[in-house]
Amino acid sequence: MGHIMSGTTSPDLAARLRSAGLRPTRQRVALARTLFEREHRHVTAESLHAEAKAARNQVSLATVYNTLNQFRDAGLLREVVVAPGRSYFDTNTGHHHHFYVETDGELHDFPSDKVTIAGLPAPPKGTKLARVDVIVRVRR
C-alpha cells in the first residue's frame, strides 16, 4: 500500500482521471499527484498553486481553478465552504463533517459514522436531499 512513485508518470492516477472523463494531461496528473498520493487534505486554489510551483510543476493559476472545479464535478474532490471569500477543497469525498477553527482558518475532518442527527424536518416541497453538512465552529 501507498508505494509512492517517483519520477515517472503514475498509471493509476492517469486511469483514475480517464475514468472520470478527464484527459490525463501533464498538469492534471501533477495536481492529482499532490492531491491524492498522500493523506487526505484540504487545499485552496492558491495553496495548491503555490505547492505546484514549489514542486517545479509549471501550472497556471487558471488551470488550478479549472482542475479543482473539474475534480469536484467528477466527484474526486469535495468543496467545503465555511468562510466568506475562500473555498476549500477536500480530498476526502466520503461521509464526514468538519471542525472549523474560526480564529485561524483551519479545517479538520471528522468521521460521520459515530454522529447521529435526529429530528431533521422534511426537505421543502419539490426538493430532494443532497447532503447534510455539519460544521462545528470552534475558536482558540
Residues that bind DNA (CB under 7 A): 18, 22-28, 44-46, 58-63, 65-67, 69, 84-87
Judged by beta carbon, residue 16 or residue 72, the one nearer a copy of itself is: 72
Separation CA 7–CA 73 (nearest Å): 29
Separation CA 46–CA 34 (nearest Å): 14
Quote the DSSP letter at residue 120: P
Query: What dihedral do alpha carbons 44, 47, 51, 56 form, nearest 10°?
Result: 100
In angstroms, give the least distance from the CB of 50 to DNA: 11
In angstroms, give the least distance from the CB of 32 to a copy of itself: 22
Q: Which does 34 bind (CB under 5 to 8 A by kind): a copy of itself, DNA, none?
A: none
In angstroms, give the least distance from the CB of 74 to DNA: 11
Using CA atoms, how far residue 29 sits from 18, 22, 115, in Å, is 11, 10, 35
Judged by beta carbon, residue 23 or residue 114, the one nearer DNA is: 23
In angstroms, give the least distance from the CB of 13 to a copy of itself: 26
Separation CA 100–CA 135 (nearest Å): 7
Quote the DSSP letter at residue 7: S
Contact residues toward a copy of itself (CB under 8 A) are: 79, 81-85, 87, 99, 101-102, 108, 110, 114-121, 123-124, 126-140
Q: Which does 9 bind (CB under 5 to 8 A by kind): a copy of itself, DNA, none?
A: none
